[in-house]
Copies of this chain bind each other. A is one copy, B any other.
Amino acid sequence: MPRVVDHAERRTKFIVASWGVIANEGLNAATLRRVAAAAGVTTGALTHYFTDREALLVEALRAAHFAAGARMLRAAGKLDDDRKRLLAVLEEALPLDNRRLQEWRVWLAFWGEAVGSLALSEENQRRIEEWRDFAETLVLPLVPPGQSTAVVAMSLVALIDGLGVRLALAPAASLASERRDARASIARAVASLGAETTAERKATQNQGGKGV
């Protein structure tokens, strides 16, 4: 009897609409009216699928985390070599295209707001821990015996976060060159990581091969 629609499809439509508003106009601009308008409907439709504004925003953040996590797992699965896999995942994490740039701006907006909101800070903390654990497994076979895997992984994660923030805030004019520098930065970090284990045995190979 009821008029039938795809609930999941509607919800993701609103999620995507809220991503666009947040990334382009900031989290404050993501009002119920504004998000509904961006999705081409009115607030009546939006409140039909999300009880609260906060529920919408938390789900938007969660969905962004999930999408990014899925992409990174896919990037990791393609490669066999440990160092190449690490590099591929780190590159996948950076905002090197517009979709990922939007994602980073969404995260950035939520980070600022996470201070005052318990639900947001918990969701953020969850993502941070997952991302760090994943990085540790990737880094494990590459870390030299004398060093702490946790510290090495934390350093790489922090490097990605810092580069991501920088790219997310970069003006459009300098975005291309900043992206180039960011890729060179993580290439250097991964190369110097190997230099103390494998490359030291092979001696002098990566000096001209990968340096930028």
Contacts and interface: CB of A to CB of B under 8 A. Distances in A.
Interface of A: 22-29, 105, 108-117, 121, 124-125, 128, 146-148, 150-152, 154-155, 157-163, 165-166, 168-169, 171, 181-182, 184-185, 188-189, 192, 195-196, 207, 211-212
Contact of A166 (B105, B114, B116, B161): B161
This chain's copy number in the assembly: 2
B128 A207 contact: no
Contacts of A29: 116
A44 to B, nearest CB: 25
Given A146-B211, A148-B212, A112 B154 contact: no
A148 B207 contact: no
B148 A158 contact: no
Nearest to A211: B146
Q: Which of A113, A115, A166, A189 has the most CB of B within 10 A?
A: A115
A61 B117 CA distance: 21
A211 B147 contact: yes
A150 B185 CA distance: 9
Contacts of A157: 162, 166
Given A29-B116, A128-B166, A169-B124, A158 B146 contact: no
Contacts of A159: 155, 158-159, 162
Given A146-B207, A148-B184, A169 B111 contact: yes
B184 A23 contact: no
A148 B160 CA distance: 19
Contacts of A146: 207, 211
A117 B26 contact: yes
A115 B25 contact: yes
A168 B28 CA distance: 21
Given A125-B169, A128-B166, A196-B192, A115 B155 contact: no
A28 B184 contact: no
